[in-house]
Amino acid sequence: MSKVLWIKGGHVIDPVQQRDGKGDLFVVDGVFVKSLSAAEKKAAKVIQAKGLVVCPGFVDIHTHLREPGDTAKETIASGTLAAAAGGFTTVVCMPNTKPPADNAGTIQLIRDAVARTAKVNVFPMGCITAGREGERLAPIGSLARAGVVAVSDGGHCIQNAEIMRRAVEYAAMFGLPVIDHCQDANLTEGCVMHEGDISLRLGLRGMSRMAEDVMVARDAIMAEQTGAHLHLQHIASASALDIIAWSRKRKARLTAEVTPHHLALTHEALVEYDTNLKMLPPLRTEKDRQALIKGLRKGVIDCIATAHAPHTVMEKDREFDYAPFGINGLETAFSVCYRALVEAGHASLSELIGWLAHKPSELLNLGRGTLEPGRPADFILLDHKAEWEVTAAGFRSLSSNSPWLGDTLPGKVHATYVGGAEVYNDA
């Protein structure tokens, strides 16, 4: 017997279908349908959505789930529950696991764990180079056959341009985008935050924008001259946006993402030496932040990604120089972006949903992020007017390394559904 859902009376927002108003949604056997028959309506489970926004589940193409290996920080079970609590119904997991996801066997290990414990859809990403060491290519062909949706060295930027060129050309043969963390390691050794007046005042070694810009320029040239798809992670530099815009004019297949924390915060937030604000690339200036918002609105930046990087309390509770880079991001992403973009008057709620849902999905051809009939019934019920306090105890993630601890944020996910099945409810 078919499983039928009738999501009734909500404010439906789906940028793909240009829906933005009160309406109903229908699901049969985990798939959206245009309408229900009289018999199906009679048999349907009704979900009352009055007063709530009903929208596509968010898609995060930059999530560190840590499994296998660093399971004290996160597991596939805890990370995907955190994703569901944040409204994400699909995540792409980064390959910097232990061991690295540089072979088909490790990819299968991840897929098996996903099948057993994941609460949301998980797509694996494979490594570009063996061991993420940047010295020789991983077996990209076998990784493609194992089901990866892209390749990346997950937090490592390949410094050797010849190896990067061969990787880009080889990945293109299998239709795989190359995902890059743009950082010239020679310009960042020992650096822990943005180079500027705040780093000088705090006595911390600063990281120049040049470290990011140099590699963005390299990737822009490679994307243009090879015709391959390169995607740039967590852009933070205003000048990097100029390079990306230049490459777009030359028809390069270069895409980019921005994180919620780079849209919301600047290096001025580090004056208390809070290691939960230590990230790569670092928080930069207000000029950079405003440029990122403008770049997102103009389409120079394609989407928002969380860069969810959980760490244990013990790891983060150290001197700033020695604490690891990265923040917990899945559960706060929507709320942080809603405050920084929608409440601040830079974007509509529909635009924000697009940047979090169908646009990242389209970049990696995942087939999610919309409520269109025939698509998997991945959706969320959202109370964008509600407020909630961020606490360590409230996280579903195993880690709580968030810069918003103790803050009150707007916008709360009420419930999350994957394939028509409820995987999270705030009750």
pLDDT in tens, 119-163: 999 999 999 999 999 999 999 999 999 999 999 999 999 999 999
Q: Identify the pLDDT of residue 1.
A: 57
Mean pLDDT of 205-232: 97
| Element housing 61 (H / E) | strand 58-63
What is the rounded end-to-end Cα distance, in angstroms, of the chain?
A: 29
Output the average pLDDT for the chain.
Answer: 97
Q: How many helices (H) and strands (E) are present in the chain, helices listed first?
A: 14, 18
SS3 content of the chain, % helix, strand, coil (to 5): 35, 25, 45
| Rounded Cα distance, 233 and 14, in Å | 25
**What is the distance between the alpha carbons of residues 254 and 83, in angstroms, rounded to a whole number?**
27
**Domain-by-domain residue ranges, the chain?**
4-53+377-389+408-425, 56-363
8 Å CB contact between 372 and 16:
yes
CA 194 to mean position of chain CA atoms: 22
Give, for 223, the enclosing helix (H) or strand (E): helix 210-226
Does CATH number 3.20.20.140 belong to domain 56-363?
Answer: yes
Evaluate whether the domain defined by 4-53+377-389+408-425 bears CATH number 2.30.40.10: yes
Amino acid, single-letter form, for residue 310: P
In this model, does residue 290 exceed pLDDT 80? yes
Q: How far is 100 from 124, CA to CA, in rounded Å?
A: 12
Distance CA 337, CA 33 (A): 30
Q: Which of 34, 61, 51 shows the shortest CA–CA distance to 258?
A: 61
- How does pLDDT run across 77-112, given as a tens digit for each residue? 999 999 999 999 999 999 999 999 999 999 999 999
**CA gap 291, 301 in Å, rounded:** 10
> What pLDDT shows up at residue 303?
98
How far is residue 189's CA from residue 212's CA, in Å, rounded to a whole number? 13
